[in-house]
Structure 1
Amino acid sequence: MFKKILIANRGEIACRVIKTARKMGIATVAIHSDADAQALHVQMADEAVHIGPSPANESYIVIDRVMDAIRRTGAEAVHPGYGFLSENPRFAKALEAEGVAFIGPPVGAIEAMGDKITSKKLAQEAGVNTVPGVMGLIEDAEEAVKISGEIGYPVMIKASAGGGGKGMRIAWNDEEAREGFQSSKNEAASSFGDDRIFIEKFVTQPRHIEIQVLCDNHGNGIYLGERECSIQRRNQKVIEEAPSPFLDEETRRAMGEQAVALAHAVGYASAGTVEFIVDGDRNFYFLEMNTRLQVEHPVTELITGVDLVEQMIRVAAGETLALSQGDITLKGWAMESRLYAEDPYRGFLPSIGRLTRYRPPQEIAAGPLLDTAKWQGEAPAGETAVRNDTGVYEGGEISMYYDPMIAKLCTWAADRGAAIEAMRVALDSFEVEGIGHNLPFLSAVMDHPKFVSGDITTAFIAEEYPDGFNGVDLPGDVLRRIAASTAAMHRVAEIRRTRISGRMDNHERHVGEDWVVSLQGESYPVTVSADREGASVRFGDGATLRVASDWTPGDQLARLDVDGRPLVLKVGKITQGFRIRSRGADLKVNIRTPRQAELAALMPEKLAADTSKMLLCPMPGMIVKVNVAEGDEVQEGQALCTVEAMKMENILRAERKATVAKVNAAPGDSLAVDDVIMEFE
């Protein structure tokens, strides 16, 4: 077994690999750029080597710099994680020439299956159903338009070396095909150093289901069930689960056996993933093979008890798989929510900055994996697990140079409903401040009826949130639970406030029982009667809720019991009440005396500033292109400029017909959120 491995990656996946290596008694080496000098993976590793400036194309994906770090530290093997160099055959060849083990598949398998065009041709030759498309490379935008028209819109424009949603665009017409080709080409060159593009038919309303395979160098191969990855935004997975709520055992077996056969056909050895598109009749079509560890691998680990990183290391060391297909049983259900530094209220645009508060929910289960070996038969009801794979910490900074993922929050339970409920509580318990993030959106999905029923496709987000995410309107019963809870909390805060030494001759000022709680446009007159065990909150219609909690003023997380059911609230103090965040909603909760509420109702509302004649920068980033000039008349939907942030190009378009009065930014300018890019007449 190896004595020392280098992790050629950063962030949460580097930390994940370090955890397993530490468990196996293997020393680890981290590499880092300027921006990552204080990163968590650097702190966790036994050694760390600086490899260059902050941009990935000047550090993490520069093979010579990584090879130099290997030589300097004497690492015997390299785990590439995902992204960066994980599917780069030149890197694998460089390691082979150096006599260093690559903790991944053979070079031939990477070349055969890591390239999307080649992999599709091989799949077709093997008799595997594939999505219609043109596998040849596309030279320019006009050829892309011609081919798209021949295939028939909509089409998917994809980077051959792409992954993680980078270099991918859906085009519904000629104009979008032309724009999408150039943006995909630019993103592919920036992210992967390979700008080759191909086009395929975009299958509407598909499910994205993938099979995890594991093979060794001795001819053995198994599959470890499937993952449902249909909840996606801009082709980037947001929520994954295992198993899929859609597959039956027959389809699962057929997909698994086909995936293993394909892996054997290319001499695959290591962990890998075969991705399929599955239609409503459970017909499945080969999409691509990822010759690396997937971002969403934890959900497979949680339902099988198999440490995939450990298996990758053992295979790379020449060991024979200790597992056979008969050893793999799927127990319980696992969910993964990807926490991104993206502001859902601003069209999910990237957010950067310092994490002024980062408090994940407490992990439940020993070690990085849930131990299922002791179970006999079905997973035990009532058992739950929480796992959080992350590469950040409180006080750390989210950089503009890398992927915006902060963490992968996973829950496990005996069945899907229980796993979803565990995720709801875990998301509500996750405290993140200082940047925009998608926690509210993740919570909203967990409560969405279509998701809860399992009736989902890759079009879920586009169909259910066509105008973007604007927060959640909570139902009346939930509002009442929050109203009762905040009324009881307010009473506690008022008592604390009056206990000031020397005031009122050391006697507490009386705190009233009657209050009016206002939230989400509703007002609830309540009476709060407290005792040692909690408080009874009676509403104006006579209904009463019992609230118990150990919350104290100043705590930013309140865990309450409301009529025997748990409720978790993120709490911020505002004048006459609280800012409450729960289940995807961000609420201003005012708690006033009846007289204060009467007067507040007479106050006029403050109007927001008019920015309708300005194009504001929606994210911190750099202007790549300005499409218009002063005096130009623009039409609704016309491209105005392109902003690049976190390796993604974002085209900003006109919302209505207007004339450009002033352009305040030029290509190469770095802008902050809400900087004025241009003004209109």
Structure 2
Amino acid sequence: MFDKILIANRGEIACRVIKTARRMGIKTVAVYSDADRDALHVRMADEAVHIGPPPANQSYIVIEKVMEAIRQSGAQAVHPGYGFLSENPKFAEALEAADVAFIGPPKGAIEAMGDKITSKKIAAEAGVSTVPGHMGLIADADEALKISEEIGFPVMLKASAGGGGKGMRIAWSADEVREGFQASKNEAASSFGDDRMFIEKFVTQPRHIEIQVLCDQHGNGVYLGERECSIQRRNQKVVEEAPSPFLDEATRRAMGEQALALAHAVGYASAGTVEFIVDGERNFYFLEMNTRLQVEHPVTELITGVDLVEQMIRVANGERLALTQDDIKLDGWAMESRLYAEDPYRGFLPSIGRLTRYRPPEEVSGPERVVRNDTGVFEGGEISMFYDPMIAKLCTWAPDRGTAIAAMRDALDGFEVEGIGHNLPFLSAVMDHPKFVAGEMTTAFIAEEFPDGFQGVSLPEDHLRRIAAACAAMHRVAEIRRTRVSGRMDNHERKVGADWIVTLNGLRFETRIAADRGGADVTIGEETLRVESDWTPGDQLARVSVGGEVVVLKVGKITQGFRIRTRGADMRVHVRTPRQAELAALMPEKQAADTSKLLLCPMPGLIVRVDVAEGDEVQEGQALAVVEAMKMENILRAERKGVVAKVNAGPGDSLAVDDVILEFE
């Protein structure tokens, strides 16, 4: 077995590989850019080597710099993680020439499957059903439009070397083909150093289901069930689960056997994933093969008990698989929620900055419930604009799907993240959505269920009533603490009354509290709810039993109440005396500033181009500027007709959130 391996990656996947290597008694080497000097993967590894400036194309994907790090450290093998150099055949070739083991598949398999055009041809020859499309490379936007019209809209524009949603666009019209083709080429060149494009028919209302395969260098292979990855946004997965609530055993077997046939056809060895789209009749079509470890691999590990990273290391060491297909049993249900540094209230635009608070839920491993959090960050660390915005992968396991979802709801409510925008509220909203709970989702789920973007969650009135009761009891505890600290306790608790008016989400609850040593009875109208908690003022997380049901609340202090976040909702809860409530009702509401004549930068990023000049008349929907952030190009469009009065930024400018790009008359 290897004594030392280098991880040619960063973030949570580097930390994930380090954990398994440590358990196997293998030393690890991290590589890092200037931006990652203090990163968690650098702290966790046994040693670390600096490889360059922050941009990935000057550090993590420069083969020569990684090879020099291997030489310096004396590593015998390299795990590439995912992204970066993981599916680069030139990197595998360089390792082979240096007599360093690649913890991944052979170069030939990477070349065959890494190019989506070639992979579809091989899949068809191996008897795997494929999606209709243009199998050749496309020279320019004119040719892309001609091909799209022949295939029929909608079409998918895809980077041949792409992955993770980069260089991928759905086009529903000729204009979208022309506009999206160049943007996709630019993203592909920036992310992969390869701007080749191809086009295929976009199958509407599909489910995205993938098969995990594992093969050794001796011709043995197994498939480890499937993962449902249909909850996607901008072609990037957000929530995954295993198994799929849609497949039956016959379809699972057929997909698994086809996936293995494809793997054997290219001499595959290591862990890999064959992705399919599946229609409503359970017909499935080959999409692509990822010749690496997938981001969502933990859900497969949780339902099979197989450590895929360990198996990859053993296969790279020349060992035979110790598993046969009969050994693979699917046990229970697993969920994965990807926590991104993206602000759901601003169209999921990237957010960067310092994690002023980062407290994941406690990890648990038991016979009835598992909570696992794969992460590469820590409290006080910085989220950089240079890399993927994923912060963590929160996973839960339980004996059945409903219980796994319930465990995920609880874990999300208990996940504390402050300092940046993040998608925790959206993830909670997905877990409560009736279609998701019923398992009736497609890849169009987010577009269909949140057509106007995410505006937060409106909780049902019975849930708001429980929150009101909890906040009334918590406010009473805080008032008792305040009077004690101020020294105004002339007559024990005489200053803390029993009657409070709680207002939240436009609702008003009149409450009366009768407290005792064990908690409080909170009466709202005709209903009395027993409230019990060990919350103390200053705690930012509260687990409160209300009427026998536990609610988990993230708590922030505001004047006369709390900022409460729970189950995807973010609300200001005011708890006032009857007289305070009477006076508050007379206060005018503060008006928001008028920004209707400004184009504001919606995220920290780099201006790629500005498409208008002073004096130009613009139309609704017209492209105004392009901002690049976290490896993605974002087109900013006019919300209404207008005339450009002033241009405040140009190509190459680095802007912060809400910096003014354009002013209109």
Work out which of the residue numbers 655, 668, 673 in structure 1 matches 2:639.
655
- Show the counterpart of 2:429: 444
Does residue 664 of structure 1 match 2:643?
Answer: no
Q: Displacement, 1:510? A: 2.8
In the aligned structure 1, how far is the partner of 2:635 from the partner of 2:494? 59
Q: Which runs of structure 2 are paired with 1:216-227 in the superposition (5 Å)?
A: 216-227=216-227
Q: Displacement, 1:281? A: 0.2
Cα deviation, 1:412-431, whole Å, max 9, x if unaligned, reads 00100000000000000000
Q: Which moved more, 1:305-314 or 1:150-159?
A: 150-159
- Show the counterpart of 1:349: 349
Instruction: State whether residues 489 and 495 of structure 2, in contact with CA within 8 Å, keep that contact through their aligned partners in structure 1.
Output: no
Q: Which runs of structure 2 are paired with 1:179-198 in the superposition (5 Å)?
A: 179-198=179-198
Three-state SS of the structure 2 residue aligned to 1:407 is strand
- Show the counterpart of 1:414: 399
Gaps of 5+ in 2: none
Work out which of the residue numbers 596, 614, 617 in structure 2 matches 1:630.
614
Cα deviation, 1:489-541, whole Å, max 9, x if unaligned, reads 0010001111137535584443101001000000100001111111111002x
- Show the counterpart of 1:598: 582
Letter paired with 2:564: I
Cα deviation, 1:553-589, whole Å, max 9, x if unaligned, reads 0000001111222110000000000000000000000
In the aligned structure 1, how far is the partner of 2:508 from the partner of 2:491? 35
Instruction: State whether residues 242 and 334 of structure 1, in contact with CA within 8 Å, keep that contact through their aligned partners in structure 2.
Output: yes
Does residue 588 of structure 1 match 2:599?
Answer: no
Instruction: State whether residues 270 and 315 of structure 2, in contact with CA within 8 Å, keep that contact through their aligned partners in structure 1.
Output: yes
In the aligned structure 2, how far is the partner of 1:256 from the partner of 1:503? 71
Cα deviation, 1:234-284, whole Å, max 9, x if unaligned, reads 000000000000000010000001101110010000000000000000000
TM-score by length of 1: 0.97
Instruction: State whether residues 155 and 172 of structure 2, in contact with CA within 8 Å, keep that contact through their aligned partners in structure 1.
Output: yes
Q: Displacement, 1:114? A: 1.3
In the aligned structure 2, how far is the partner of 1:572 from the partner of 1:546? 23
In the aligned structure 2, how far is the partner of 1:199 from the partner of 1:678? 35
- Show the counterpart of 2:476: 491
Letter paired with 1:580: I
Letter paired with 1:133: G
Instruction: State whether residues 156 and 202 of structure 1, in contact with CA within 8 Å, keep that contact through their aligned partners in structure 2.
Output: yes
In the aligned structure 2, how far is the partner of 1:476 from the partner of 1:11? 41
- Show the counterpart of 2:605: 621
Q: Which runs of structure 2 are paired with 1:51-90 in the superposition (5 Å)?
A: 51-90=51-90
Does residue 256 of structure 1 match 2:241?
Answer: no
Cα deviation, 1:142-170, whole Å, max 9, x if unaligned, reads 11111111111111101111111111011
- Show the counterpart of 1:395: 380
Instruction: State whether residues 126 and 261 of structure 2, in contact with CA within 8 Å, keep that contact through their aligned partners in structure 1.
Output: no
- Show the counterpart of 2:547: 563
In the aligned structure 2, how far is the partner of 1:593 from the partner of 1:213? 63
Letter paired with 2:272: G
Work out which of the residue numbers 577, 585, 595 in structure 2 matches 1:611.
595
- Show the counterpart of 2:135: 135
Three-state SS of the structure 1 residue aligned to 2:35 is coil
Q: Displacement, 1:631? A: 1.1
In the aligned structure 2, how far is the partner of 1:172 from the partner of 1:655? 20
In the aligned structure 1, how far is the partner of 2:455 from the partner of 2:70? 48
Three-state SS of the structure 2 residue aligned to 1:496 is helix
Change (3 A) 1:532 1:217: same
In the aligned structure 2, how far is the partner of 1:297 from the partner of 1:176? 34
Three-state SS of the structure 2 residue aligned to 1:35 is helix
Q: Count matched residues.
A: 665
Letter paired with 1:438: N
In the aligned structure 1, how far is the partner of 2:638 from the partner of 2:193? 32
Q: Which moved more, 1:12-21 or 1:164-173?
A: 164-173
Cα deviation, 1:315-352, whole Å, max 9, x if unaligned, reads 00000000000011000000000000000000000000
Three-state SS of the structure 2 residue aligned to 1:560 is strand
- Show the counterpart of 2:124: 124
Q: Which runs of structure 2 are paired with 1:461-480 in the superposition (5 Å)?
A: 461-480=446-465
Letter paired with 2:14: A
Work out which of the residue numbers 490, 495, 504 in structure 2 matches 1:510.
495
In the aligned structure 2, how far is the partner of 1:16 from the partner of 1:429? 22
- Show the counterpart of 2:278: 278
- Show the counterpart of 1:146: 146
In the aligned structure 2, how far is the partner of 1:502 from the partner of 1:656? 58
Cα deviation, 1:173-201, whole Å, max 9, x if unaligned, reads 11111111111101111111111111111
Q: Displacement, 1:27? A: 0.2
In the aligned structure 2, how far is the partner of 1:259 from the partner of 1:124? 12
Q: Displacement, 1:671? A: 0.7
Q: Which moved more, 1:171-180 or 1:45-54?
A: 171-180
Cα deviation, 1:359-402, whole Å, max 9, x if unaligned, reads 0000001xxxx7xxxxxxxxx6xx11100000000000000000
Three-state SS of the structure 1 residue aligned to 2:95 is helix
- Show the counterpart of 1:678: 662
Letter paired with 2:529: L
Q: Which moved more, 1:134-143 or 1:31-40?
A: 134-143
In the aligned structure 2, how far is the partner of 1:286 from the partner of 1:172? 22
- Show the counterpart of 1:109: 109
Work out which of the residue numbers 378, 381, 384 in structure 1 matches 2:369.
384
In the aligned structure 2, how far is the partner of 1:276 from the partner of 1:128? 10
Work out which of the residue numbers 620, 624, 649 in structure 2 matches 1:640.
624
- Show the counterpart of 1:168: 168
Cα deviation, 1:206-242, whole Å, max 9, x if unaligned, reads 0000000000011100000000000000000000000
In the aligned structure 2, how far is the partner of 1:127 from the partner of 1:629? 55
Cα deviation, 1:57-101, whole Å, max 9, x if unaligned, reads 000000000000001111000000000000000000000000000
In the aligned structure 2, how far is the partner of 1:187 from the partner of 1:434? 28
- Show the counterpart of 1:455: 440
In the aligned structure 2, how far is the partner of 1:427 from the partner of 1:253? 33
- Show the counterpart of 1:13: 13
In the aligned structure 2, how far is the partner of 1:528 from the partner of 1:673? 44
Instruction: State whether residues 498 and 509 of structure 1, in contact with CA within 8 Å, keep that contact through their aligned partners in structure 2.
Output: no
Q: Which moved more, 1:199-208 or 1:118-127?
A: 118-127
Three-state SS of the structure 2 residue aligned to 1:630 is coil
Letter paired with 1:642: V
Instruction: State whether residues 483 and 489 of structure 2, in contact with CA within 8 Å, keep that contact through their aligned partners in structure 1.
Output: no
After TM superposition, the runs of 4+ consecutive aligned structure 1 residues lying more than 6 A away are none
Cα deviation, 1:597-649, whole Å, max 9, x if unaligned, reads 11111111111111111111100001101111111111111101100000000
In the aligned structure 2, how far is the partner of 1:456 from the partner of 1:503? 57
Three-state SS of the structure 2 residue aligned to 1:419 is helix
Instruction: State whether residues 500 and 506 of structure 1, in contact with CA within 8 Å, keep that contact through their aligned partners in structure 2.
Output: no
Letter paired with 1:572: G
Three-state SS of the structure 1 residue aligned to 2:485 is coil
In the aligned structure 1, how far is the partner of 2:362 from the partner of 2:202? 41
Work out which of the residue numbers 388, 408, 412 in structure 2 matches 1:427.
412
Three-state SS of the structure 1 residue aligned to 2:217 is coil
Query: Percent identical across equivalent pairs?
Result: 83
In the aligned structure 1, how far is the partner of 2:388 from the partner of 2:459? 32
